[in-house]
Amino acid sequence: MIKEIQRFIFKMAEAEMQARGYKVDHNKNREEVSI
């Protein structure tokens, strides 16, 4: 149950980062993309 919630929050945060112009890299941590 808690893991599912954490996964949901992670997905939301990931979408938010992408919306703000960040590249989500699953191999590393998130990296900022120069726009």
pLDDT in tens, 1-35: 899 999 999 999 888 888 887 665 555 555 555 55
| Residues 24, 13 contacting (CB under 8 angstroms) | no
* Model pTM score: 0.47
Residue 32's φ and ψ, nearest 5 degrees, are: -80, 135
